[in-house]
Amino acid sequence: MSRGSADSGAGGVRPVLAGELVLAPDVARPGEKLPYAIVNTGTVALMCGHPYLLERWDEESWVAVVPDMAFTLQGYGVVPGGRKELTAEIPTDAVAGLYRISTRVFGRHAPPALRLSGTFEVIAPSSNQ
């Protein structure tokens, strides 16, 4: 889970764009859908969508798994204290290891964007598959 925040504004109460990417569970198998949620912990509504980046840790750095993945461009508003449930597709050829999912959220009256991310484990397919 990662948390991000940024504030902006002149004088008075400053709007705060803040959020968390929550993974539950934090384990997946190749070909599964990984549920995650964007949680708004700020003071302004945020906008999130389907686009995400999947990366795999290769013992030295994060490497994009499917760098040219295409998404539908839908936007979802998340009020302060609210959450939006989403899913990520784990590629069928994903190898076991540590992965990271990242996405960006935006606020209308706050700085341009926040990057939220969370790590999870891909485990070997079960013998029943």
Q: Are the C-beta atoms of residues 115 and 4 closer than 8 Å to each other?
A: yes
Bridge-based pairing state of the strands 114-122 and 97-107: antiparallel
Mean pLDDT rounded to a whole number for the chain: 88
Which string of DSSP letters, residue by residue, matches 26-76? -EE-TT-EEEEEEEE-SSS-EEEES--EEEEE-SSSEEESSTT------EE
What's this model's pTM, rounded to 2 decimal places? 0.83
- Over residues 43-96, the pLDDT tens digits come to 989 999 999 999 999 999 999 998 778 888 889 999 999 999 999 999 999 999
Question: What is the mean predicted confidence (pLDDT) over 95-104?
Answer: 96
Q: What is the pLDDT of residue 6?
A: 53
% of residues, the chain, pLDDT over 90: 67
Q: Which residue has the higher pLDDT, 7 or 102?
A: 102
Q: Which residue has the higher pLDDT, 84 or 11?
A: 84
For the chain, how far is it from start to end, CA to CA, in angstroms?
A: 29
Q: What is the pLDDT of residue 8?
A: 47
Domains of the chain: 2-7+15-122 (2.60.40.1930)
